[in-house]
A and B are shown apart, each in its own frame.
Chain A
C-alpha cells in the first residue's frame, strides 16, 4: 500500500511538473535572475516586466481559446495594430468611441474569420492568414499608407487605460488580470468553455453530440479578434498614439507563449493560467537578455529560438515520462 502511494505521489508529481512545467521553469528562472543580476529584483524592474507582458497576454488569451478549439488565429498581430490605430483615431471623439470603434472593427474581423471557418470548413490557418493581410491593408488604407499617425491628446482620459497606475502598478496589468480571470471562468465554468474543449478534442463527435459547433467557433474567433482589439486599445493608450508598425509577427509570439504554457496545438487541452506563465517566461527571457547586456542582437534571436525549443522539449519529455 505504501509502495503504491509513493508511486502514486511520484506520478502525481510528474503530472504537476508536466502540466506546470513552464511554471517551474519560470520560478527557477526568476530565482536565478534574482541572484545573478542585482537590478533584476527591483520593484521598478518587476513592474516594468509585468506591464510589458500585459499587452501580449491579452492577445494570447484569445489565442488560447482558439488553439484549445483546435484552430489557430494568425490575424491577431495585424488586428492588434489595427485596433491601436482605430483607438487613437477614435480618441479624438472621446473615450467611448476610442474604445468601441476598435472593439467593433476587430471583433467584426474575428467574426468574419469565424464565419468562414465554421460555415465553409476552410482551414483556420489559411483564413486567418488572409485576414492578417486584410487587416494590415485596412490599417494602411486608414493611415494614408502608414503616413498618418493619429496622436492621442495628452489630456485625454483615455490615456489612463494605458498609462495610469494603481498602487504603482500599471492599469493594463490589472485589466489583463481581470480578463484572465473572466477567461478562466468562461473556459472552465461555462457550457461555452466545455464546447470549446469538445470541439478541439473531437470535432465530429461534438457535432454528433449536438453541440453548437459553428456558433461556438464563430464566437471564439470573434473573441480572439476582440481581445486583439483590446490589446490595441491598451497599447494606443500606453503609447499615446496609433502606431502603425506594431504587431508584426505578434501572432507567432502569441502562439509560442500559448504553447509554452502547455496548451496543445492539436486542441482539446490547455489552460489559461499556463498562457499567463508563458507570457511571463517570454518577458523574463527578454529582460535577462537585457541584464546580460553583451549579447549581440543576432545572438539574441538564436537564444530565443533555443529557449522556446528547450521549454517545449522539456515539457514533452516530462509528458512522456508521465505516460510511461
Chain B
C-alpha cells in the first residue's frame, strides 16, 4: 500500500496526553496518538505495552484518567462503545466478541438488522445480505447456523465482516490475524486493501512483522505504556522497530531468521505417543499421529481441518467414535482428561479465554492449577512449594504482572498466554500438545517460547505443535503431518519440510467445498 498523500484535513482520531491507570499498573502514560484519514497505522509493542488499553480508550470501553480524545479535530468523550460506533469507529477486539449461540447472520447484523416497512426484522433479507457479505470473507457456510459451530478463525472473519460492513470511517483491529490461516490472512489483506482504497483509516495491531510491513503506512510503538516512537513505517528497518519495542540495543537482538528454533532433534527412538485412526463427531475421520520423545511434530492444515480436534482428542477432551491413543504402548482410556494428564500429556488449548484462564483467580493460582495435587501433600495446599514454582516460571517466561497475586484477567493477552504455558510446564509433562502456543505473543517473547519448545524437546519431551504461522511450523518441526478434512493428507520429514510442500499438501484436491467439514447436516 502506498503512503497516503499529504492531506490537509484534520486527523480522524487523535488522543492527546492520555493516561490510564489500573490498580497497580500504569497502563498508559501520557500517550498521544494521531490517526490520519485513510492511513493504515500500526500499533506495536511488547505484551502488556498498552495497545489493547489504548484501543479501548479510543472506543469508549475505558475512560482516560487524564488527557483528551479528539474526533475530526473536535474533542469528544465516548462514554460507551456505542458512542464510538455512532461516530463511525468500528472495532475488532483482541478476543472474539460475538454471541456464540446466535446465528452467524444475526451476529453480523446485530443491532442494525434490516427491517421491513412494519419495523420488524426482515430475516429473509438479513440472511441474504449476510450470505452475500460473508462470501467476500471466504465463509460460505449456512448463515443460519449458530456462530459457535464455526472455528475461531472463521469467527474472526465474521467479526471482521461485521466491523467493516458498518460504514465505518475508522476500523480498529487488535491482532486480527492471530487466529487466522494463511489463506484467511490473504482474504483479510484484500479487505484491508479495499478499505484503504475507500479512504477508511485503519489502526492495526499485530505482532507479526511481515504483516506490518506489508500493510501499514505508519507506526506507533508503545513500551510500558509510553509512546517511544511514532512515524512512517517503511523507512524504519525491521531490526530497529524490534529494538524500539523491546527497548534493547540493536546489537543485542540477534537477527537469525524469523524464528528461534534450533536444529533438528534426535528422533530415532520408538514413538512415545501413538494416536491411531481417530474419528469422531464428523470432524475427524481418520487421523493417526505419533510422537517420539524429543520430537517436535507439526500439525498443518486449513481452518477446520481438524488439528485442534486431534489435539483435544488425544487428551480426551473431544468425544471419539473410533480410534485409540497409546502412551508408551499402553492405551489411554477414552474421554478421561485426568488420566491423560496423569500419564503425562498436557494440552495448551487454542482459545485461552474460554478454555484457558480462570479469570477470577490470581496469576499464581492459574499457574499452579494443574500441578496442584502434586504440590499439595494430603490435599492440603502448600504455599511455599507453590511460590517456588511460580517464581521459576514467571521469571523463565518473563510474565509481566504487578505481582503473582494479580488477577489473571487483568494481564495483557500475551501474558495470559504465558501463564497458561507455565501452567502446563509446571506439571512436568512427557508430551506437550501446543495449539497455537505463540498466538498473541510479542516478538521478544515469541522467540523465547520457541526457544523453550526447542529446549524442552532437547530434554526429551515429545511436542505436538499446531500453528497457523507456517514459518513457525516449518522451522520448529522435525516432522509435519498435514491434515485435510479430518484425515491425514500427507507427512513431511527432514528437507521435505518446506513452505511449498506443505502448501501443496494442504491444498491438493481441495477444489472448492473445503469448508464442508464445518457443515453439520
Contact = CB atoms under 8 A, between A and B. Distances in A.
Judged by CB atoms under 8 Å, the answer to whether A and B touch is yes
A281 interface: no
Interface in B156-178: 162
A5 B162 CA distance: 33
A188 B121 CA distance: 8
Contact of A197 (B101, B115, B521): B101
B271 interface: no
Given A194-B113, A210-B82, A211-B111, A185 B120 contact: yes
Which of A5, A189, A200 is most buried by chain B, counting CB atoms within 10 A of its CB?
Answer: A189
Nearest to B61: A208
Interface string A188-215: 1111011101101110111111111000
Given A201-B99, A204-B97, A324-B281, A210 B85 contact: yes
A15 B45 CA distance: 48
A207 B102 contact: no
A143 B42 CA distance: 68
Which of B61, B101, B106 has the most A CB atoms < 10 Å from its CB?
B101
B519 to A, nearest CB: 10
B100 interface: yes
Interface in A93-111: none
A269 interface: yes
A201 B93 contact: no
B117 interface: no
Contacts of B81: 207-210
Nearest to B99: A201
B383 interface: no
Interface string A10-37: 0110000000000000000000000000
B110 to A, nearest CB: 6
Contact of B110 (A4, A200, A211, A269): A211
A268 interface: yes
Q: What does DSSP make chain A's interface, helix, strand, loop or mixed?
A: helix
Contact of A191 (B91, B100, B111): B111
A202 B120 CA distance: 23
Contact of A210 (B111, B115, B281): B111
Contacts of A206: 99, 110
A194 B121 contact: yes
B85 A201 contact: no
Contacts of A188: 121
Interface string B69-109: 00000000000111011100001010001111110001000
Contacts of A193: 121
B521 A202 contact: no
A201 B521 contact: no
A7 interface: yes
B388 interface: no
B99 A205 contact: yes
Interface in A242-281: 268-269
Contacts of A190: 119-121
Contact of A209 (B97, B100, B121): B97
A43 interface: no
B254 interface: no
Interface residues of B, number: 30
Given A11-B521, A189-B120, A194-B121, A201 B100 contact: yes
Contacts of A204: 97
A200 B100 CA distance: 10
B378 to A, nearest CB: 36
A8 interface: yes
Nearest to B90: A210
Nearest to A4: B521
A11 B100 contact: no
A208 B281 contact: no
A142 to B, nearest CB: 39
B319 interface: yes
B520 interface: yes
Contacts of A207: 61, 80-81
Interface string B380-422: 0000000000000000000000000000000000000000000
Given A11-B520, A208-B91, A209-B111, A197 B99 contact: yes
Contacts of A200: 101
Contacts of B93: 208
Contacts of A212: 82
B147 to A, nearest CB: 9
Given A194-B106, A208-B61, A202 B98 contact: yes
Given A207-B81, A210-B82, A211-B110, A7 B521 contact: yes
A8 B80 CA distance: 44
Contacts of B162: 209
A206 B98 CA distance: 7
A201 B106 CA distance: 12
A178 to B, nearest CB: 17
Chain B CB count within 10 A is highest, among A198, A204, A207, A208, for: A208
Interface string B98-141: 11111000100011110100011101000000000000000000
Given A191-B111, A210-B111, A324-B319, A197 B106 contact: yes
Contacts of B106: 194, 197
A197 B121 contact: no
A201 B102 contact: yes
A104 B319 CA distance: 53
B458 to A, nearest CB: 41
A257 to B, nearest CB: 21
Contacts of A11: 520-521
A189 B106 CA distance: 12
A146 B319 CA distance: 58
A201 B123 CA distance: 19
Contacts of B113: 191, 194
A4 B516 CA distance: 13
Contacts of B97: 202, 204-205, 208-209
10 contacts: A191-B111, A194-B110, A194-B121, A198-B102, A201-B99, A201-B101, A205-B97, A208-B61, A208-B81, A209-B110
Q: Which 6 A-B pairs have the closest CB atoms?
A: A8-B521, A210-B82, A201-B99, A189-B120, A205-B97, A210-B85
Interface of B: 61, 80-82, 84-86, 91, 93, 97-102, 106, 110-113, 115, 119-121, 123, 162, 281, 319, 520-521
Given A188-B121, A197-B102, A208-B97, 11 more contacts: A7-B521, A11-B520, A12-B521, A191-B111, A195-B111, A201-B102, A208-B61, A210-B80, A210-B82, A268-B99, A269-B101
